[in-house]
Amino acid sequence: MTMNPRTRFSALTLSVLCLAAAGCSTVWHYVAPAETDISFYQPPTDKETFSNPVGERPKNIIVCIGDGMGINQIALARQAAVGADGRLWMERMPYTALVYTHNIRGEVTDSAAGITALMYGIKTRNDRIGQDSKGATWMSIAERLQQNGYRIGAVATSTMTHATPAGLAAHIHDRDLEAQIAVQLLESRADVLLGGGRKYWLPQPQGVRTDGRNLLAEAESAGWRIVSTREQLATAPSGRVLGFFASDAMTTLPPEPTLAEMTRAALRILSGSSPQKPFFLLMEGSQIDWCCHSNNTKAAVRQTLLFDTAVRETLEFAAADKQTLVLVIADHETGGLTLYGGGLKPNWMKTEWSSKNHSNGPVILLAFGPGAEHFTGVLDNTDIPRRIARLLGISDFPKPRQKQSAAAHAASETAQLN
């Protein structure tokens, strides 16, 4: 497909966003012109690589995942937005690695096995989150850090219970059980969850829960602030916040908050505790993958630039804070995207998609902040959380999960508060 700015996407274009064969649900989607508009994008004025903050050990950790974002998706977004010699924000990060993404069988991963590698440090079968191929459950790096007093949170434009954001703290054999995942995320006592998928938290008929539980009412009475608009998010206090801005996946269009606005709010909330605690944030550009499944080049560019704008928020936070490690990575590539042709000007590149599914090639990792120098070379996806743990002096990771009783959990909460 040719990237010609004068070519408008037909209003009748229907795209299959995610194929059942790839382990995603099938969604028919109308592609409006706004879904390919990249005029919002503000590239960096300075193209230099960031100089890395000096420090042995980071305090805060931010993991940014571009779902389906292979290296050619990044190059395509660069070409479309700023031309061949331009730079995206993520391309200013000083350390890089190549990361292999296959699942435990050596096959092409889905986002569930992918996030299990990236967050729990173990290989598993597709469809499983936080659970190995024998059925045992493991702690995510976020849960392990929570034991050390970290605040934890996730931001995504999919449903919050979709495979990647669920990887903050879910343990399940089937990623499609989103109503169960919602309960697990609530039980994880995550401090901040911002994204789509309100319906999985509410009983029928407002939602889809068949157990009659209203998880948002439960969360509110347990101390979370519940928000559902951009304005409410901007003024949410720095306690615990659950924000659902769509019943299903977000539209990534106004009046919703953007991924960058949600990321900025999550950083403000997570870093704003008194006394200040360290935090772990998982941020996902969820819909790059969906656009690549449908081989929709222009929409993939827009989603990658929305993600890059959110990465900018994390980099500016980390540059000011000097104690925050930011990692940008993909769980896998989607679409087998090839680039040919091109030129110095933006918006000109020829593309070819070789598939409508995920592919098995390595993806790029970019790193900035104290400890970023440990994320170089050729890595396996399971190395990412293992290296985070090592960097923070945690020797028992990957760690099998032991179910904690509610009473023990409450006691450890009280101990942390005191």
Q: Where on the chain is the footprint of Zn ion (CB under 5 A)?
A: 22, 24, 289
Assess contact for 139 and 401: CB atoms under 8 A.
Answer: yes
At its nearest, how many Å lie between Zn ion and the CB of residue 184?
Answer: 21
Closer residue to Zn ion, CB minimum distance, 60 or 252: 252
- First and final C-alpha spacing in the chain: 59
Closer residue to Zn ion, CB minimum distance, 24 or 337: 24
Closest CA to 140 of 164, 158, 116: 116
Sign of CA dihedral 334, 152, 223, 235: negative
Helix (H, G, I), strand (E, B) or coil at 192: strand
What is the H or E stretch that residue 60 is in? Answer: strand 60-66
At its nearest, how many Å lie between Zn ion and the CB of residue 249?
Answer: 13
DSSP letters along 231-273, please?
Answer: HHHHT--SSEEEEE-SSSS--SSTTSPPHHHHHHHHHHHHHT-
At its nearest, how many Å lie between Zn ion and the CB of residue 356?
Answer: 10
Closest CA to 139 of 211, 73, 188, 202: 188
Closer residue to Zn ion, CB minimum distance, 24 or 349: 24
At its nearest, how many Å lie between Zn ion and the CB of residue 284?
Answer: 12
At its nearest, how many Å lie between Zn ion and the CB of residue 389?
Answer: 27
CB proximity list for 255: less than 8 A, separation 6 or greater: 229, 230
Closer residue to Zn ion, CB minimum distance, 115 or 325: 115
Closer residue to Zn ion, CB minimum distance, 52 or 116: 116
At its nearest, how many Å lie between Zn ion and the CB of residue 332?
Answer: 8
At its nearest, how many Å lie between Zn ion and the CB of residue 334?
Answer: 5
Please count the helices (runs of H) and the strands (runs of E) in the chain.
Answer: 12, 16
What is the H or E stretch that residue 21 is in? Answer: none
Closer residue to Zn ion, CB minimum distance, 24 or 194: 24
CB proximity list for 254: less than 8 A, separation 6 or greater: none
At its nearest, how many Å lie between Zn ion and the CB of residue 144?
Answer: 27
d(CA 198, CA 247): 5
Closer residue to Zn ion, CB minimum distance, 164 or 188: 164
Closer residue to Zn ion, CB minimum distance, 197 or 370: 197
Residue environment code for 185-221, b if the CB has 16+ CB neighbours within 10 A, otherwise e = bbebbbbbbbbbbbbbbbbeeebbbeeebebbeebee
Closer residue to Zn ion, CB minimum distance, 22 or 249: 22
What is the H or E stretch that residue 33 is in? Answer: none
At its nearest, how many Å lie between Zn ion and the CB of residue 195?
Answer: 17
Q: Which two tokens stand for residue 289?
A: 């993958």
At its nearest, how many Å lie between Zn ion and the CB of residue 339?
Answer: 20
Closer residue to Zn ion, CB minimum distance, 25 or 214: 25
Residue facing Zn ion at closest CB distance:
289
d(CA 333, CA 361): 7
d(CA 117, CA 129): 9
d(CA 113, CA 332): 10
